[in-house]
């Protein structure tokens, strides 16, 4: 009787507190700090993550934490599709536009450390953290304790900075041939990363990842108990249409002028080119800067999850023109070609994001067994159906943890775990070299397709004819 009365009083105070703060029923600041609820919105680009995140934060006294590895950089707001101040609708956003574009050393470890501190600050303030983004390994680093390999035991950058790309690749082949066969020798970051794993843990990268895959004590890996994960998706054809339209909107907003200003104003510094693993776009800016110096600089920006369009790599040829040449017929042609390349790369990245979520994040059953997951199809009726559905799920989630009962699953009948063979992942990353065509092919499926392809057969015939001629 007394317990029931106390719960009623508690509920009344919560409703009054929420009414004052103009939000839906949620936890009080004290309960927020003790329960540590966390909303995560993940999905491939173009599914409406940002819009849903803002709606959630607005309705539940929350703040958004961006988990996008390109939006951490200052500038290029249009190219990286950052949410405008107007679209934020008064919701505070964190982890955006705080890293200098010339920085090549910022990594997932630094991101995770900063976000973990931020989460505690938000909970203490009675705010509901809403993590929104498509950079999966950023989110993975936050959700799991052991998803990141320690970096403080071995300074790979300093130990290998005097070695060439070929030399570090040969070293990797010596200590971990299997990992070497799954990375291109020119991808310095991934090569060095595999070496770092070997020297930091005493295990080859392949062995380390297999050990992670075999883990069954999932609850010990999860950092937080009360997590609600939204996974957004949409029909493929509709999604690709949205992505094409996004590029068109970027152009309308001034993408052309933005990339020109960025290219011209960015201080070009001689620096070691960094190559990042997982969904990496290596952005190389190479130019003869006559106004600055007579030295040719090579500059790169690290770009994981660049699907929301960094728009530098795609417009490299256009940016090589002088300011006057850019607004000629040739300039218009190169800019149009860059736009088409940008659309293509955005669609390709969206597919990789979707594949990563399905195979990596959900493939082992880790999340599907231990986390509250809500799958949302954003193909249609986004504001009329999808957003209200998401808000209602959060209502249920918060009310359950508020009663000290852990909600094991939301929508359990639909959230069927994916199963993926670990060996398939190895084959998907295998690097094959075609001596006939003098190219490297990434992935077993692509390799088999290459061997059956017209180009390979043509090169075989050509070499066969040359051999007969020499005889």
Residue 253 lies in a domain: yes
Same domain, 370 and 451: no
pLDDT tens digits, residue range 171-192? 888 888 888 888 888 878 788 8
Higher pLDDT, 5 or 357: 357
CA dist 262 and 149 (Å) reads 34
The separation between the first and the last C-alpha atoms of the chain, rounded to the nearest angstrom, is: 101
Structural domain span for residue 447: 430-470
Same domain, 105 and 123: yes
Measured in whole angstroms, how far is the alpha carbon of residue 435 from the centre of its chain? 34
What is the DSSP code (8-state) at residue 146? Answer: T
Percentage of the chain modeled with pLDDT above 70: 69
Residue 304 has pLDDT above 80, yes or no: no
- Residue 133: is it exposed, middle or buried by C-beta count within 10 angstroms (0-12/13-18/19+)? buried
Q: What is the pLDDT of residue 35?
A: 92
Q: What is the pLDDT of residue 293?
A: 32
CA dist 189 and 170 (Å) reads 14
Provide the b/e sequence for 342-373 (b: ≥16 CB within 10 Å).
bbebbbebbeebbebbebbbbbbebbbebbbb
**pLDDT tier, 288 (very low <50, low <70, confident <90, very high otherwise):** very low
CA dist 427 and 342 (Å) reads 28
CATH number of the CATH domain containing 65: 3.40.50.300
- Provide the mean pLDDT of the chain: 76
Q: What is the pLDDT of residue 216?
A: 44
- Neighbouring C-beta atoms of residue 114, cutoff 10 Å: 15
Give the E-state strand segments of 349-411 in sequence order. Answer: 372-377
**pLDDT tier, 364 (very low <50, low <70, confident <90, very high otherwise):** low
Q: Are 163 and 172 in contact (CB under 8 A)?
A: no
Q: Which residues pair with 99 in a beta bridge?
A: 73
The number of CA neighbours under 13 Å toward the Cβ of 32 is 23
Query: In 215-357, which ranges are continuous DSSP H helix?
Result: 218-221, 236-253, 255-265, 316-319, 329-356
Q: What is the pLDDT of residue 54?
A: 98
Residue 277 lies in a domain: yes
Residue with tokens 């295990």: 203
Residue with tokens 């508020």: 402
pLDDT tens digits, residue range 49-73? 999 999 999 999 999 999 998 899 8
- Neighbouring C-beta atoms of residue 165, cutoff 10 Å: 16
Same domain, 342 and 414: yes
Q: What is the pLDDT of residue 147?
A: 64
What is the DSSP code (8-state) at residue 306? Answer: G
Same domain, 399 and 458: no
**pLDDT tier, 290 (very low <50, low <70, confident <90, very high otherwise):** very low
What is the DSSP code (8-state) at residue 274? Answer: P
Give the DSSP H or E segment for 431: strand 431-434
Same domain, 66 and 118: yes
Same domain, 123 and 249: yes
Same domain, 303 and 284: yes
Same domain, 447 and 405: no
Q: What is the pLDDT of residue 267?
A: 42
224-252 average pLDDT score: 93
Same domain, 374 and 462: no
- Range with the poorest average pLDDT among 252-256, 286-290, 322-326: 286-290
Q: What is the pLDDT of residue 22?
A: 63
Q: Are 441 and 447 in contact (CB under 8 A)?
A: yes
Residue 3 has pLDDT above 60, yes or no: no
**pLDDT tier, 281 (very low <50, low <70, confident <90, very high otherwise):** very low
Same domain, 447 and 413: no
267-272 average pLDDT score: 38
Q: For residue 407, give the 3-state DSSP assignment.
A: coil
Q: What is the pLDDT of residue 108?
A: 85
Q: Which of 288, 300, 329, 336 is nearest to 315 (CA)?
A: 336
Number of domains in the chain: 2
Strongest mean pLDDT among 139-148, 226-235, 402-411, 441-450: 226-235
Same domain, 421 and 439: no
Residue 112 lies in a domain: yes
Residue with tokens 């059953």: 365
Same domain, 322 and 444: no
Q: What is the pLDDT of residue 196?
A: 78
Higher pLDDT, 266 or 44: 44
């Amino acid at each position: 009787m007394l317990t029931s009365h106390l719960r009623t009083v508690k509920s009344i105070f919560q409703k009054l507190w929420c009414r004052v703060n103009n939000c839906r029923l949620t936890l009080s600041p004290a309960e927020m700090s003790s329960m540590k609820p966390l909303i995560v919105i993940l999905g491939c680009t173009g599914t409406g993550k940002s819009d849903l995140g803002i709606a959630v934060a607005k309705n539940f006294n929350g703040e958004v934490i961006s988990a996008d590895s390109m939006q951490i950089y200052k500038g290029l707001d249009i190219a990286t599709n950052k949410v405008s101040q107007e679209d934020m609708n008064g919701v505070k956003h964190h982890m955006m536009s705080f890293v200098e574009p010339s920085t090549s050393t910022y990594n997932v470890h630094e991101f995770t450390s900063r976000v973990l501190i931020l989460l505690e600050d938000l909970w203490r303030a009675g705010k509901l953290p809403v993590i929104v983004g498509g950079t999966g390994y950023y989110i993975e680093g936050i959700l799991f304790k052991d998803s990141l390999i320690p970096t403080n035991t071995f300074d790979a950058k300093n130990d290998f900075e005097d070695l060439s790309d070929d030399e570090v690749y040969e070293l990797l082949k010596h200590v971990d041939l299997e990992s070497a066969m799954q990375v291109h020798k020119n991808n310095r970051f991934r090569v060095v990363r595999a070496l770092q794993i070997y020297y930091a843990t005493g295990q080859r990268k392949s062995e380390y990842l297999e050990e992670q895959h075999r883990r069954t004590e999932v609850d010990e890996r999860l950092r937080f108990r009360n997590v609600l994960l939204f996974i957004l998706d949409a029909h493929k054809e509709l999604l690709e249409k949205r992505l094409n339209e996004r590029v068109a909107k970027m152009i309308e907003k001034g993408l052309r002028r933005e990339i020109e200003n960025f290219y011209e104003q960015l201080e070009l510094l001689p620096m070691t080119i960094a190559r990042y693993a997982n969904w990496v776009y290596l952005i190389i800016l190479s130019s003869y800067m006559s106004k600055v110096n007579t030295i040719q600089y090579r500059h790169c920006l690290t770009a994981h999850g660049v699907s929301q369009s960094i728009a530098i790599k795609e417009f490299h040829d256009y940016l090589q023109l002088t300011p006057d040449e850019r607004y000629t017929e040739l300039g218009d042609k190169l800019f149009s070609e860059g736009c088409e390349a940008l659309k293509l790369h955005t669609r390709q990245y969206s597919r990789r994001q979707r594949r990563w979520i399905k195979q990596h994040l959900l493939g082992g059953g880790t999340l599907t067994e231990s986390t509250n997951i809500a799958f949302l199809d954003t193909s249609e009726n986004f504001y009329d159906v999808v957003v209200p559905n998401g808000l209602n799920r959060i209502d249920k989630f918060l009310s359950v943890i508020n009663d000290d009962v852990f909600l094991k699953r939301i929508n359990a009948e639909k959230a069927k775990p994916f199963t993926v063979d670990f060996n398939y992942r190895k084959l998907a990353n295998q690097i094959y070299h075609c001596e006939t065509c003098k190219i490297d092919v990434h992935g077993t499926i692509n390799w088999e397709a290459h061997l059956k392809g017209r180009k390979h057969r043509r090169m075989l015939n050509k070499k066969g004819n040359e051999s007969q001629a020499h005889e």
